[in-house]
Structure 1
Amino acid sequence: MEFIIRSAIRSDSDILLKWRNHSSVNKNSFSTESIDECDHNRWFTSKLNDSKCFMYIAEIENVACGVVRYDLDDTGHEATVSITVSPDFQGKGLGSKLLDTTEKRLLEEVKVEKIIAKVLFNNSPSRKIFERSSFTNKYLTLEKEV
């Protein structure tokens, strides 16, 4: 599948909210509650204005198919990555390609030394995306609800 990568723009907000609240995406998010439009728009605007955030939109034939976001830490040496593939394009092997392509673009823009991905234990599709892109499991976090 041929795709292009571009920086996110204001008009991407609606499609990203739609994806975020879709059941196939929502179930694999750290926060599984639906996000309302006002909160999303506030968050999205802050990310667009954040010089430490690099958000890339993938398009196939002018249709958005995924987003990859890198948030730099305060040192600028580490980036935390987040990826969402449009529900319409999930299961087609697109995630790994988006991750690899955007990583190259990020490294052209900033010189990070490490990229960190945080994935829910049961989110095997995301784990596979990162493992295919040479991410390794460094830590195990255990949690207890009290």
Structure 2
Amino acid sequence: MIEFLSSNSNNLRQLQEEDLDIILQWRNDDKIRHFMFNSDVIALADHQAWFKRTVKDEKKHLLIFEKNKFSVGFVQLSVLKGGVAEWGFYVDPSSPRGTGQQMALNVLKYAFESLNLHKISARVIDFNQRSLHLHNKFFFTEEGVLRDEHYDGVKYHDVICFGLLKNEWKKKVTSNA
């Protein structure tokens, strides 16, 4: 059963320049980097350049998830045409279990209720069991498999494509309320 969490303990806010060091530290951690499509260590200068480019793009929503006023996760929503967005995210590798699910719940609520998006899509590398589990738990539909789409430098991996429509989300949230 999904329950909305108290807004007193959880918060989504815009990514700020002063957040860059911490999210880069999380992103470059082996526990996170291993599951990224680009698993290279990212240099600070490249990270700062990405932020300067991306923060100006109105179709990109760069968000920090806070729990008890501490930053614990990062999400990027990239809005495509027609109210469809792709998301990508990661949490502080030292966060307690369940942080990603709490963040996902808050982001989906924001995406569908505040941004009024029609659909959230995701692409997950087949060995990322935690992300696969999260998408299934939050009622995403597996929409396809891109066979041998990702090469990690050693072998090829499938990429699983997921989608969640706003009306599906509303139905599930209402039935679990």
Normalised by the length of structure 1, the TM-score is 0.90
Which amino acid in 2 is paired with 1:120? Answer: I
| Partner residue in 2 for 1:113 | 118
Which residue number in structure 1 is paired with residue 86 of structure 2?
A: 80
Identity %: 25
- Which residue number in structure 2 is paired with residue 100 of structure 1? 105
Q: Counterpart amino acid of 1:125?
A: R
Contact 1:54 1:106 (8 Å CA) reproduced? no
Partner of 2:21: 14
2:112–2:118 CA contact under 8 A, matched in 1 = no
Cα RMSD (Å):
1.9
- 8 A contact 1:56–1:69 mirrored in 2: yes
Q: 2:60 aligns with which of 53, 56, 64?
A: 53
Following the alignment from structure 1 to structure 2, what is the Cα–Cα distance between the partners of residues 45 and 63?
A: 24
Is the contact between residue 12 and residue 66 of structure 2 (CA under 8 Å) also seen in structure 1? yes
Stretch of structure 1 that moved more, 47-56 or 108-117: 108-117
Cα distance, 1:143 vs structure 2: 2.2
Name the structure where strand makes up a greater proportion of residues.
2
Q: Secondary structure at the match of 2:124?
A: coil
How many angstroms does 1:111 deviate by? 2.7
- Alpha-carbon distance between aligned partners in 2 of 1:66 and 1:77, rounded to the nearest angstrom: 24
Larger radius of gyration: 2
Unaligned runs of 5+ in 1: none
